[in-house]
Structures are given as C-alpha cells and as structure tokens.
Amino acid sequence: MKIIRKPEELQKAIEALKKKGKTVGLVPTMGALHAGHISLMKKSVSQNDVTVVSVYVNPIQFGPNEDYERYPRPVEHDIKVCKDNKVDFLFLPTNKTLYNDNFSTYIYNNKLAKIMCGVTRPIHFQGVCTVVSKLFNIAMPTKAYFGLKDYQQYVIVKQMAKDLNFNIKVIGCPIVREKSGIAMSSRNTYLSEKAKQDACGIYKSLCLAKKQFAEGKKLKDIKKNIEKNILDIPTSKIDYVELRNSENLNEVTDKDKSIVIAVAVKVGNVRLIDNIVCKK
C-alpha cells in the first residue's frame, strides 16, 4: 500500500493506471475506521483493480459548535486497517493541500440539502459535496462507495454525480451494525456504555416501523409511534423523524410502496443518525 498526501501525486499515479485500463474504486472516509468502512473497502477491492481510501476530517462540513476539533483521528490505526484490507492507495491530505488560501468555490444541492439533516446543519452538505467532488477529480474513480447509514448523503452525492456529469458509479453499501443493533459510526466512541445500550432503542423503533409499513398502517401513525418510542429512550432528543421516497427523498403518501424512514436523535450530547428502507 502506498500512502499519498499530495493531490497531484495521486492524480499522476491514477492517470498512469487508467491508461493501462485499470478500474479504480474510491472509499471516501473521515477516518476512525471501523467495520462499516471495512465493508466498503472489501466491496471496492472485489469490484476494482485498484482501491483508493481517503482519510480526511473535512472542516467545511462542520458547523459552529460541532465536533470538528475533537473528531477522532487515530491515523496509525487507520493505516493498519487499510493495509490489512488490501487497499492500494491511502490518501491522507491536509487542509492546506486540499484548500488553498484563496479557496472560494463550493458545490451545493439547492433541493436535497435543505431537508432532514440540512435543517439543523445548513452548511453540512455544501462541505460534503465540495470535498467529494474534489476527491472525484483527484482519484478519478470508476466507482465510489458510500455507506447507507448516511442515506441523505448517498442520495445527494449520487445526484451530484449525475448533475455534474461525473463518469462515476456511486454505490450505496448496507449499514453495518454493532451486535446491539446500533449503526456503526466513528461518533459511537463518544457514547458511554449506558448511552450505547439506550441508543439501541433507535433501531428497534425503526424495525417496528418497517413491520407496521408492511402491514399497511398509515404513515402519520407510523411516525407518531417512532417518535413515542424514541422519546422513551433516556436523555433522548429528536432532531427529526422523516418518511421519504427511498430513491429521491421526495415527500411520500400512503400510496408509496418504497420509503426510507430516517431519524436523527441526540442521546445525551451525541447526535446519531439511522434509517431503514421499507417496502410493501
């Protein structure tokens, strides 16, 4: 595995490989790699000749008073995880190498970034789209892999790739969960053991909602039940509970056959997101 820190160096290496007809998979991450990230790496390695993993805590997707400064950065651990999972290139840029002093160009989805997480994190997806577009240009992947825990992010990135004519297939990969059911996340390290146990109720409420959707219950009743079950979790505070079209995040009615139920919940001071896709 080769560790690269400069964008132009990675571009040069990938250009040479693509001239030889090699396919390239990209796994963009913010590090603190866990089993969820590993599942993306394995998928990329199995589907491409070359796999690139980026590890970068992107400052422009954090709002004021969010956790940018304390976000976990176990670099040596991340290097080992990438080596162990047959990654070819580990891209470790810095703020200085990605954003020059006069940087002033941003990418924003004017529709999808205003709902769900975008309500309380208004600059978040602008930061995501900007850094992902830069990674697409630097790594020039054939395919890019995103975990479906961040479902809204996946839909937005997929739309961005379509809108801006990136010749890249954006692939969503299933949520990987801890044994308790809680979705794997680097931010789970913020949770106490008690809070982790309490947070299991989020996934339980989603599973119950999926069953109710299949049984034909009305969406407004399903939403009320989710809210009630989540508020029964000690120290919980709901950011949102949303029932949306699973393809494009449009609003839904009781006639829809496939939806995503997405939630953002604070347990103590830790904001957790989760979702489940429901079909009938």
Residues 269, 237 contacting (CB under 8 angstroms)? no
Find where tokens 């079209």 sit: 245
Enclosing H/E stretch for 114:
none
Can you tell me the distance from the alpha carbon of 61 to that of 95, in angstroms, rounded to the nearest whole number? 13
Burial bucket for residue 169 (CB in 10 Å: 0-12, 13-18, 19+): middle
Residues 198, 236 contacting (CB under 8 angstroms)? yes
DSSP conformation class of 165: T
Can you tell me the distance from the alpha carbon of 44 to that of 38, in angstroms, rounded to the nearest whole number? 10
Of the residues 34, 37, 77, 124, only one is catalytic, namely: 37
Distances from the Cα of 246 to the Cα of 162, 185, 191, 251, 267, angstroms = 17, 22, 29, 10, 26
Q: Annotated catalytic, 37?
A: yes
Distances from the Cα of 5 to the Cα of 45, 56, 95, 98, 154, angstroms = 21, 10, 11, 10, 26
Can you tell me the distance from the alpha carbon of 110 to that of 207, in angstroms, rounded to the nearest whole number? 31
Chain Cα centroid distance, residue 88: 22
**Residue type for position 164:** L
Question: Which residues participate in catalysis according to the annotation?
Answer: 37
